[in-house]
Amino acid sequence: MVFNSYIFILFFGFVLLLHHLPFSWKVKKLNLLLASYLFYALWNPPFIVLLWFSTLVDYLVGLALYKEKNAWKRKSLLLVSLVANLGLLGFFKYGGFLLDNFIQLLSIAGITYQPPQMDIILPVGISFYTFQTLSYTLDVYWKKTPPEKSLLDFSLFVTFFPQLVAGPIVRPDGLIPQFKQPVQATKDQLLWGLFLLSLGLFMKVGLADGMLAVPADTVFGAKESLVLLDAWMGVLAFSMQIFFDFGGYSTCAIGVALCLGFTLPDNFRYPYAAIGFSDFWQRWHITLSTWLRDYLYIPLGGNRNGHARTYLNLMLTMVLGGLWHGAAWTFVVWGAMHGLFLCVERLLKEWLHNPSQLRTTAEPALAGNMVSKSSFIPTVKLPKLGVNFSLALLTFFLVNVTWVFFRAPDFATAGRLLVSMFNLASEGNPVLSYMEILKVSVLTILVLFCHWYMRNRSLISIASRNSWWMLTLVLSAMLILLILTQKSTNSFIYFQF
């Protein structure tokens, strides 16, 4: 089931109705849990078993970790959770990838090996709920949070349908406490939640699918070199598409949860206004970047063990973050490029600042608020608006270069497109119409302006300054455009991860 479908509207209306009926809080939570299982089962019913397995394993491991005092046994229990969760993720998501690479290595050695065909279906959302359950086990192991004794509350934490299949990735202390007391949305929460749901659907259906999918697919599907303008328009189209698609999903998820009275963390904060890559990861997929920081980067040593180890930790974190997105070497390169840019950025900051001071102030920056916590390295405040804007444009330019590897199906396509983008080919073929070029150009300029204007603002603060009739007019316009552009129920891009 996808948010951008009529069946979801019926499903959500029924869930809202049940949630507002005078049932006991336990019955309401059971309703939400059953609704979440139904929401997931409509993708592929057998994969519900995987959800049950992950839920039961981590629930029991969490209880056992709390009671166990022996260090070796506690590590063994943690290993059970890691093997169970990462084992399932590794088999379903990376089994075919690893097998293909093993076959290629054998062929290089002159050995021919033809294994049986493996038709592995990737369970939707497995990367997201795996990280979510692992955060619980690791937090209990590190004694950051007590184990959850209620199987109902823990099961709902794992499977809460608004964010189950594509995030935001929620921590146990951010969601489980909300299940302890009866929750029902206020009038303002309900209206704001419906507004966010409409906005997210407009971003997905009206912009990502309606205006940007075709030029992006056309350019990345081209089998020959392209003219420079078409190459850049295609990459910009995907850059805008993936933001509106994934940002739209997160906005929908936050809105749906708010309609039920629950709050989910922000996942995007106008990322195309980022000044540098550390700032970009403070704004893009925030719940993933903070997860990678807390459960990978810092346990590896963070920036506490010298410069060389810091750069290595940055690279490992971003490479594994790239691999998390997909079982392909193109994603590894995408992650490595972000890691490289983060390392270069850190080197420049060390050159501009006292290295000893940088080492002593870097870790506290990781322990600050949500914005500063999501950065792997401290952010330098540049003094002039013009310099900041120029650096933001440079960051946006480099981010678009990295998107080539994220979107391209193989290195041949990525290489061909990069050659076309930098005018290294002697000639190319135009594939986009003037209208498509105009749409992408105008939308890109509007998005950059909007992100820059909203860089240090929030949507709710802007909305609160406007009258109710203006918000109603905007909402009505989005709903009309949604109806006019709703032609299919395309899945969100991040469902494949």
Active-site residues: which are they? 325
Question: What integer pLDDT is reported at residue 368 of this predicted model?
Answer: 33
- Evaluate whether 165 touches 40 at the Cβ level (below 8 Å): yes
> What pLDDT band is residue 462 in, cutting at 50, 70 and 90?
confident
pLDDT of residue 362 exceeding 50, the answer is: no
pLDDT of residue 475 exceeding 80, the answer is: no
Question: What integer pLDDT is reported at residue 456 of this predicted model?
Answer: 87
Which tokens go with 444? 């890109």
pLDDT of residue 376 exceeding 60, the answer is: no
Mean pLDDT of the chain: 86
pLDDT of residue 488 exceeding 50, the answer is: yes
Task: Summarize the confidence of residues 198-209 as an average pLDDT.
Answer: 89
> Beta-carbon neighbour count of residue 450 at 10 Å?
13
Task: Summarize the confidence of residues 255-260 as an average pLDDT.
Answer: 95
pLDDT tens-place string over residues 114-142 = 777 767 777 888 889 999 999 999 999 99
> What pLDDT band is residue 357 in, cutting at 50, 70 and 90?
very low
pLDDT tens-place string over residues 259-278 = 999 999 999 999 999 999 99
pLDDT tens-place string over residues 98-116 = 888 888 888 888 787 777 7
> What pLDDT band is residue 350 in, cutting at 50, 70 and 90?
confident
Name the more confident of 328 and 385.
328
Task: Summarize the confidence of residues 389-410 as an average pLDDT.
Answer: 94
pLDDT of residue 381 exceeding 60, the answer is: no
pLDDT of residue 380 exceeding 70, the answer is: no
Question: What integer pLDDT is reported at residue 117 of this predicted model?
Answer: 72
pLDDT of residue 196 exceeding 80, the answer is: yes
Task: Summarize the confidence of residues 164-180 as an average pLDDT.
Answer: 91
pLDDT of residue 426 exceeding 50, the answer is: yes
Q: What is the distance between the alpha carbons of residues 296 and 152, in angstroms, rounded to a whole number?
A: 29
Q: What is the distance between the alpha carbons of residues 295 and 275, in angstroms, rounded to a whole number?
A: 25
Candidate from 272-281, 297-306, 364-373, 483-492 with smallest mean pLDDT = 364-373
Name the more confident of 427 and 94.
94
Question: What integer pLDDT is reported at residue 492 of this predicted model?
Answer: 65
Question: What integer pLDDT is reported at residue 165 of this predicted model?
Answer: 87
Q: What is the dihedral of CA 317, 319, 323, 325, to 10 degrees?
A: 70
Q: What is the distance between the alpha carbons of residues 43 and 328, in angstroms, rounded to a whole number?
A: 24
**CA distance readout (Å), 405 to 95, 265, 278, 408, 414:** 21, 28, 20, 5, 6
pTM of the predicted model, to two decimals? 0.88
Task: Summarize the confidence of residues 40-56 as an average pLDDT.
Answer: 90
Q: What is the distance between the alpha carbons of residues 355 and 317, in angstroms, rounded to a whole number?
A: 22
Percentage of the chain lying above the pLDDT 90 cut? 57
